[in-house]
């Protein structure tokens, strides 16, 4: 319908309070009336419960979360834009960091920072006239499974990132399979959601997650599925995930600071463990 569209996000969190803290409000209503009396007041707490359920039901280990965090910090060291550029993270540092809420250490939690990001979307035939190599939008999907938004922590499928119905629609629209994904940018509000997202997008299974989600498999240029190659929400910046879309474009263009060779399919998974969640697949001209 539109010939040119811009999507942007700008954050100045110092003006409006910090996302990671419990709300400072005199009264509560809705789901918070069930949560707050028991001290359940922050996003980290709410998503940690889901990750704990995943660990219990599926045998996922803490090392999978650690690998996600280490991969993001590893890629940030090649990215001068990243907040954590020049501040590498080791496995020992991760393990020694304080618990925020189990199973999340400090480095399992996303950034809070000011900044802005934007993308420009035009028809494919017009994009060819631009200076930059086009990244083609092959598919986008949004939604949630049955009762995923049930209040008071009450969805029937609890240990999920909510992509189980969205991801199949995404792949069908793009006419590609999970095996064709060259690089993935997966929203890390917390690392537990990345593990769930990997599984629900077919990049591994519950049975193989501990084996696949290891650092060597997640880093550019030659990991099995390089993850969050700009540093992601954990180590580049926190633009509510819009910086992940930008990095997906860079990978198609061959312009990433942690470039994966010959990228044709670039996956973005946004907002795990929230409702609704959303997905996008970008492709090179060869993928059309």
pLDDT for 59-90, tens place per residue? 999 999 999 999 999 999 999 999 999 999 99
Is the C-alpha dihedral spanning 172, 177, 181, 187 positive or negative?
A: positive
**Both tokens assigned to 165:** 């119905």
Higher pLDDT, 37 or 182: 182
Cβ 162 vs Cβ 145: under 8 Å: yes
Query: What digits encode the pLDDT tens for the residues 94-152?
Result: 999 999 999 999 999 998 888 899 999 999 999 988 999 999 999 999 999 999 988 88
3-state SS, residue 141: strand
Cβ burial of 197 (10 Å; 0-12, 13-18, 19+) is buried
DSSP state of 29: -
Can you give the pLDDT at residue 31? 86
Binning pLDDT at 50, 70 and 90, where does residue 19 land?
low
End-to-end CA distance of the chain, in Å?
21
Stretch 181-192: mean pLDDT, rounded?
97
* Domain architecture of the chain: domains with CATH: 5-16+34-287 (3.40.47.10)
Residue percentage of the chain with pLDDT more than 70: 97
- pLDDT of residue 22 exceeding 90: no
Which of 16-25, 188-197, 228-237 shows the lowest mean pLDDT across its residues? 16-25
Can you give the pLDDT at residue 11? 87
Is 206 one of the catalytic residues? no
**Both tokens assigned to 17:** 């309070």
Can you give the pLDDT at residue 186? 98
Q: Which of 113, 98, 67, 116 is nearest to 218 (CA)?
A: 67
Options 73, 94, 171, 238, the catalytic residue: 238
Is 187 one of the catalytic residues? yes
Can you give the pLDDT at residue 17? 63
- pLDDT of residue 15 exceeding 80: no
Average pLDDT of the chain, as a whole number: 94
**Both tokens assigned to 74:** 């590893």
Q: How many CA atoms lie within 13 A of 11 on its CB side?
A: 18
**Both tokens assigned to 197:** 């997202």
This prediction has a pTM of 0.95
Can you give the pLDDT at residue 128? 84
Cβ 84 vs Cβ 231: under 8 Å: yes
Options 94, 136, 187, 206, the catalytic residue: 187
3-state SS, residue 169: helix
Can you give the pLDDT at residue 28? 85
Stretch 148-172: mean pLDDT, rounded?
93
How do beta strands 277-283 and 136-143 pair? antiparallel
Can you give the pLDDT at residue 284? 97
């Amino acid at each position: 319908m539109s010939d040119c569209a811009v999507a942007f996000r700008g954050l100045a969190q110092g003006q409006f309070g910090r996302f990671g803290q419990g709300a400072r409000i005199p009264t509560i209503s809705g789901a918070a009336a069930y949560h707050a009396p028991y001290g359940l007041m922050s996003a980290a707490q709410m998503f940690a419960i889901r990750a704990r359920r995943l660990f219990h039901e599926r045998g996922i280990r803490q090392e999978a979360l650690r690998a996600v965090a280490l991969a993001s910090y590893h890629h940030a060291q090649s990215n001068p834009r990243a907040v954590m550029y020049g501040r590498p993270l080791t496995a020992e540092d991760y393990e020694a960091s304080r618990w925020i809420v189990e199973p999340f250490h400090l480095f399992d939690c996303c950034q809070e920072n000011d900044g802005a990001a934007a993308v420009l979307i035009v028809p494919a035939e017009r994009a060819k006239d631009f200076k930059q190599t086009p990244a083609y939008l092959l598919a986008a999907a949004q939604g949630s499974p049955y009762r995923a938004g049930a209040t008071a922590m009450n969805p029937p499928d609890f240990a999920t990132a909510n992509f189980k119905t969205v991801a199949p629609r995404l792949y069908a629209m793009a006419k590609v399979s999970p095996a064709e994904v060259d690089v993935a940018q997966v929203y890390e509000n917390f690392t537990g959601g990345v593990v769930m997202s990997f599984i629900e997008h077919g990049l591994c299974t519950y049975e193989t997650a501990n084996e696949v989600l290891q650092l060597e498999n997640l880093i550019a240029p030659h990991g099995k599925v390089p993850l969050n190659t700009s540093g992601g929400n954990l180590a580049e910046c926190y633009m509510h995930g819009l910086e992940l879309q930008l990095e997906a474009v860079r990978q198609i263009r061959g312009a990433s600071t942690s470039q994966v060779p010959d990228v044709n399919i670039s996956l973005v998974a946004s907002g795990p463990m929230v409702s609704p969640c959303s997905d996008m697949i970008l492709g090179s001209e060869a993928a059309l």
